[in-house]
């Protein structure tokens, strides 16, 4: 009977995991989580850039439609005119003022050079005239290439 008691004690002391085993598992999960989080963060940023490019293109089209519809030879200096409803007419750009806010919570802006214009998002850094700006003229150029 003494032999059985010792076997039961040995069996019961072997249940569960040691602290070292748990620490190894936690470390591995931490490494995998970090790698996964970096991939997700990069994907989210790419999605924001794609959404901004699409919005810049839509706003550019709405400004063009505004110029044709209102018989204007120059683009408006304020983008809000393309979201304002006049009388029974629909706005040139749906979505209200939210349609003029980029994925980084900055405002889309218009840069006018004579009769030509460019729609711009300041991009992820939020600063104007930097490398990461999303501009309608760059989108057009990449389509031609």
CB 87 within 8 A of CB 67: no
Distance of CA 1 to CAs 4, 5, 6, 15, Å? Answer: 5, 6, 9, 22
The number of residues in the chain equals 145
Instruction: Report the alpha-carbon distance of residue 121 to residue 108 in Å, rounded.
Output: 5
Model confidence at 86: pLDDT above 70: no
Distance of CA 14 to CAs 7, 21, 39, 55, Å? Answer: 11, 13, 39, 61
Tens digit of each residue's pLDDT (9 = 90 or more) over 93-116: 988 889 999 999 999 999 998 889
Q: Give the model's pLDDT for residue 88.
A: 65
Q: Give the model's pLDDT for residue 66.
A: 92
Please compute the mean of the pLDDT values over residues 33-39 and round it to a whole number.
86
Residue spans of alpha helices (H) in the chain:
2-13, 19-69, 136-144
Tens digit of each residue's pLDDT (9 = 90 or more) over 53-83: 999 999 999 999 999 999 999 999 999 999 9
The token duo for 21 is 């085993």
Average pLDDT of the chain to the nearest whole number: 87
Tens digit of each residue's pLDDT (9 = 90 or more) over 114-139: 889 999 999 999 999 999 999 999 88
Q: Give the model's pLDDT for residue 125.
A: 94
Distance of CA 22 to CAs 14, 34, 35, Å? Answer: 15, 18, 20
CB 86 within 8 A of CB 63: no
């Amino acid at each position: 009977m003494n032999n059985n008691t010792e076997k039961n004690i040995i069996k019961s002391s072997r249940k569960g995991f040691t602290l070292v085993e748990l620490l190894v598992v936690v470390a591995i999960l931490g490494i995998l989580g970090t790698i996964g989080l970096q991939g997700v963060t990069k994907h989210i940023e790419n999605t924001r850039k794609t959404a901004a490019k699409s919005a810049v293109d839509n706003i550019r089209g709405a400004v063009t439609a505004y110029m044709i519809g209102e018989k204007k030879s120059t683009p408006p200096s304020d983008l809000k005119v393309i979201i304002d409803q006049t009388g029974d007419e629909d706005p040139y750009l749906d979505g209200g003022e939210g349609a003029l806010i980029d994925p980084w919570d900055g405002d889309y802006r218009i840069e006018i050079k004579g009769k030509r214009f460019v729609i711009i998002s300041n991009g992820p850094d939020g600063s104007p005239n930097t490398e990461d700006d999303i501009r309608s003229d760059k989108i057009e150029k990449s389509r031609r290439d």
